[in-house]
Amino acid sequence: MIFKNFGFILIIFGIGKSSNALEINRMPRKHIKVTRQFDILDSIRSRTLFSSMSSSSFSSKNDDNSLSPIGRLEELKQQEADLARQLAEIRMEKLSALRSKPLTIGVVGFGRFGQFIAKTLGQHGKIVVTSRSDYTDIANDMGAEYVPLSEPEAFLNKNLDVIILATSIVSFEDTVKSLTPHLRDYVSKTNKGPLMVDVLSVKEHARDILLEHLPEECDILCTHPMFGPDSGKNGWKNLNFVFEKTRVDKVVFDPSSCLDFQNTNDESFNEAYSYIEAMDRIERFLSIWEEEGCRMVPLSCKSHDEYAANSQFITHLMGRILGAQGLQKTPIDTKGFESVLKLIDSTTADSFDLFYGLYKFNKKNSLSIIHQLQNAMEDVVENLQILEKKDFEEHNIQLDLTNGEKQATSEKEQSTSQTR
C-alpha cells in the first residue's frame, strides 16, 4: 500500500527527472535501475520546501481566453481543494501503513538530547535505550526499555529496526568503534543489520566514520534535527530536519552529481526486494519526523557542513564570545540587548564539547568563519578609528579658525585702543 501511495504522490506532483539525483559509488549490476529511483521522494520534499520558502513561487497563466481572471481563480481554487482532499486521503493511508508496522528504535546515548527525541519517537514505536549511566527510571517513565551500555548484545537482541547514535560529537567515533564488533556478530547470526542513524551537528565527519567502521549490511542515514530540548520543547512543527540517505542495501550514494531517472519499468526493480525493504524502513523512520511537523530538508553532508558553519557555528561562536564578556541584565535593557542575553543563554546551555566539536570536525568551514569574523572586527574598528581621526582633524581645524578669529578680534581691539 505504501508504494502505491508513493506512486500516487508522484502522479500528483508530475515528477519526471530529479534535479537532486545521486551518483552511485559502488553498485551491483542488478541495482542499476532501482537506485535511480533513490531520491524521487527527496525531490518532492525539496520542491515542497522550496515552494514554502519562496514568496513568489506561484504564478499562473490564463491559457483559456474564455475564462475571466476571476473565473480562472475559482477554477484553481477548486483544483487546490481537490488536491487537498487527495493528499488528506494519502496521509490517512500513510498513517495506517506506519501504524500497521511500527519500528523498534534503539537509542545509544540517553543524555539530554537522547531523552528529548526518545520521548516523541516513543509515540510512534517501541523505544529501547542504552547509556553508561543508569536511566532505568527515566526510561520507564516514558515507556521505554533501558539496557546498560555494558550489555551491547542484549541491546542488539531487542530486534531493533533502527539505531540512533545520540552521543556527543567528541565521543562519536569511539562509540561507533566499540559497537561495531557486536554489530558484526549480530549480522553474522541474523544475516541482517539495523538502519544506523546519527544526529550530529556535523555531517561529513559522521558520514566518514559510519562508512568506515559499520558492517555493509547496516544501512546509513545521516541526519541533523536543527533543534533541541530548548527550541523544540513545544513541539517540532516547522523545525528543520536535515538528512542524507547515505547507504541503502550496501549501495553508497554520492550526492555530488546527477543521474537521470529513466527506465523505471525494469524487471530488476521488482527483483530487488531487499532494496525496496531497506527504503521502506528509511521512509518509515523519516515519516515519523514528518508527522511531527518537521520541515524535511534532503541535503548532502558536504552542503550541510558548509551551511552550518555560516549559521550554527557562528551563532555558537558569537554566543560564547559575548558570554565571555560577562554581560548581565541592567534596569534599562533594550529589546536588542535582551536578544543578546537570550543568545548567550541558548548557546552556553550546551556543553563546550558541542561547541568544540562544531569547530574541530568542521574545521575548514569553521576556520573560514573565524577569519571572516576577525577581518570584519578589524574593518569595524578601523572605520571607527577613521571617523574618530576625521572628527579630531575637523575639531582642530575649527579650533584653529576660532583661535584665529579671536586673535584677529583682539588685534583689532588693540589697534583701536592705541588710535584713541
pLDDT of 2: 38
> In this predicted model, which residue has the larger pLDDT, 219 or 71?
219
pLDDT at 170 over 60: yes
Of the chain, the percentage scoring pLDDT greater than 90 comes to 45
> In this predicted model, which residue has the larger pLDDT, 3 or 78?
78
Q: Which of 3-7, 109-113, 302-306, 389-393 is predicted most confidently? A: 109-113
Q: In sequence order, which residues have a C-beta less than 8 Å from that of residue 228 and are 6 or more positions away? A: 113, 116, 350
- pTM value is 0.68
Closest CA to 290 of 124, 119, 79: 124
> In this predicted model, which residue has the larger pLDDT, 361 or 179?
179
pLDDT at 84 over 80: yes
pLDDT at 131 over 60: yes
pLDDT at 89 over 80: yes
Q: In 10 A of CB 322, how many CB atoms?
A: 16
pLDDT at 69 over 90: no
pLDDT at 125 over 80: yes
Fold of 2-53+67-299: Rossmann fold (3.40.50)
CB 65 within 8 A of CB 312: no
pLDDT of 39: 58
pLDDT of 194: 98
pLDDT tier for residue 68 given thresholds of 50, 70 and 90? low
Burial state string for 267-280 with b = 16 or more CB within 10 A and e = fewer than 16: ebbeebeebbebbe
Report the chain's C-alpha Rg in angstroms.
Answer: 30
Mean pLDDT of the chain: 81
pLDDT of 314: 80
d(CA 354, CA 312): 11
Q: Give the model confidence (pLDDT) of 218-275 as tens digits.
A: 999 999 999 999 889 999 999 999 999 999 999 888 765 443 333 334 444 444 678 8
pLDDT tier for residue 106 given thresholds of 50, 70 and 90? very high
> In this predicted model, which residue has the larger pLDDT, 136 or 396?
136
pLDDT tier for residue 91 given thresholds of 50, 70 and 90? confident
Of the chain, the percentage scoring pLDDT greater than 70 comes to 79
Q: Give the model confidence (pLDDT) of 10-28 as tens digits.
A: 333 333 333 333 333 444 4
Q: In sequence order, which residues have a C-beta less than 8 Å from that of residue 235 and are 6 or more positions away? A: 292, 293
Closest CA to 178 of 150, 143, 139: 150
pLDDT of 156: 97
